[in-house]
Amino acid sequence: MSTVTLAIPIDSLALPGVSPESLVSEARFMLALKLFEVGRLSSSKAGDLCGMGRVEFLFAAGRAGVPVLALDDDELSTEFDTNA
């Protein structure tokens, strides 16, 4: 497996009482969330990136305010068509 290392000075991001491990976990989630939001990662791959399962990631994304389903107008109409 290939990896990418991102060097971030811990002093520039850390808040008092926040562990470096917690910061790393949050940063991985935020990166996965943004890449999922812009369509660069599937929900499964985003979950893998931040150490979550797909469903767990989708719930966390929803709680973070990121839509987990993108439907265009026609798809929305079909979805809510009561005559079908």
Domain boundaries in the chain?
A: 20-79
Q: What backbone phi and psi angles, to 5 degrees, belong to 69?
A: -140, 130
17-21, 65-69, 71-75: which has the highest mean pLDDT? Answer: 65-69
**What mean pLDDT comes out for the span 49-74?**
91
Token pair listed for 37: 């939001």
Considering the entire predicted model, what is its pTM?
0.78
Backbone Cα Rg of the chain: 17
Distance (Å, whole) CA 33 – CA 46: 7
pLDDT tens digit sequence for 9-57: 777 766 778 888 888 899 899 999 999 999 999 999 999 999 999 999 9
